[in-house]
Copies of this chain bind each other. A is one copy, B any other.
Amino acid sequence: MSFNTFGRVFRFTTWGESHGPAIGAVVDGCPPGLLLSEADIQPFLDKRKPGTSKFTTQRREPDDIRILSGVFEGRTTGTPISLMIENTDQRSKDYSEVAKAYRPGHADYPYDAKYGFRDYRGGGRSSARETASRVAAGAVARLVIPDVDIFAYVSEIGGDAIDPARFDAAEIGNNPFFCPDPEAAKRWEKLVDEARKDGSSLGAVVECIASGVPAGWGAPLYAKLDSELAAAMMSINAVKGVEIGDGFAAARLRGEQNADPMLPGEDGPHFLANHAGGIAGGISTGQPIRLRVAFKPTSSILIPVETVTREGAASNIVTKGRHDPCVGIRGVPVVEAMMALVLADQKLLDRAQCGER
């Protein structure tokens, strides 16, 4: 079933295909009175924009955002905010071969099996192009949670991880990989460039930290903050794993190692560790929210892979087009956006049930 809305009271709905005339999002439930203009959104889109280095797809899209509703005299009115980005650099001819055979790892085959029909141009709805809509919506979400600071970065590409000892948040913007470790960034230049030249691709791990979240957002069970975040992250194209806090590493610790001991603090407890990633029992603890997201390597590669045609004949496919050699890199602003969207929703939900904090 097609469900293109995410969120419970702060909700957004995205629409649009990679090679249609435009893509967009409708943000509903946004509180009134927030200052909002295109300038609040554009920088986040620019961060995600394709064609900015040789390490990302060469498709060139200005990704100019337009606000079509929900803002009056510079402020949100509490009504739906319609955001639109025109597609300008579609080259649908690149996709003639894709129309005939299924690209392994892509949505091509299951999509066809489901709908009996698909827009094969650039992956259609399944293209990572859709994430621009999320980034735009996420920029609005950030305005709802002004006290929360969110940033993400790439911590690993093709199995080569950053050195935590060299972590420097200030470095994240200084290289095309959103890498907080300048030495890793250097290694990745070579690594990603080689993969690109080989016509191959690499996976990546993105980490995201949200600080300033008060204790009390979330819920004990089905709207657990961890659960909402996992759904949000796993809805991003190419994501195959999510960890909150220590994640799988916690499964290797003993109870006393994994505990986050508390000492008396000024505003609530002072925690001596954060294995839990800022969430216990589904509810934020006041510590930074910390999560990790695994991006598989881009499925579009120039190395031939065995496949079948729509008619069921054996074939080989090489995905030409213009693709990211490591789709996880441009995943960074998308992960940040989804974090902001979940937290904005949780803030409003918490306010609904428990009143203002």
Contact = CB atoms under 8 A, between A and B. Distances in A.
Contacts of A339: none
Contact of A77 (B102, B119, B259): B119
Given A115-B78, A231-B230, A240-B243, A2 B353 contact: yes
Contacts of A244: 234, 240-241
Contact of A119 (B72, B110, B252, B306): B72
Interface stretch (A12-20, A45-53, A167-175, A181-189): A12-20
Interface stretch (A36-44, A54-62, A219-227): A219-227
B15 A215 contact: no
B250 A240 contact: yes
Given A105-B260, A234-B230, A255-B301, A220 B28 contact: no
Contacts of A227: 231-232, 234-235
A277 B241 CA distance: 11
Contact of A159 (B230, B252, B283): B252
Interface in A67-111: 68-70, 72, 75, 77-82, 102, 104-111
A2 B105 contact: no
A203 interface: yes
Interface string A207-233: 000000011111111111011111111
A30 interface: yes
Q: Copies per complex?
A: 4
Contacts of A231: 227-228, 230-231, 234
A128 to B, nearest CB: 11
Interface centre among A3, A308, A312, A348 (most CB of B within 10 A): A3
Interface string A308-320: 1000111000000
Given A68-B21, A244-B240, A1 B223 contact: yes
A282 B242 CA distance: 15
A113 B230 contact: no
A262 B308 contact: yes
Contact of A307 (B32, B261, B286): B261
A178 interface: no
A150 interface: no
A79 B240 contact: no
Contact of A115 (B24, B26, B77): B77
Given A77-B117, A226-B239, A356-B356, A247 B29 contact: no
A218 B115 CA distance: 11
Nearest to A223: B3
Interface string A276-315: 1101111111100000101111111101011110001110
Top 4 A-B pairs, shortest CB-CB distance: A107-B281, A1-B349, A241-B247, A203-B251
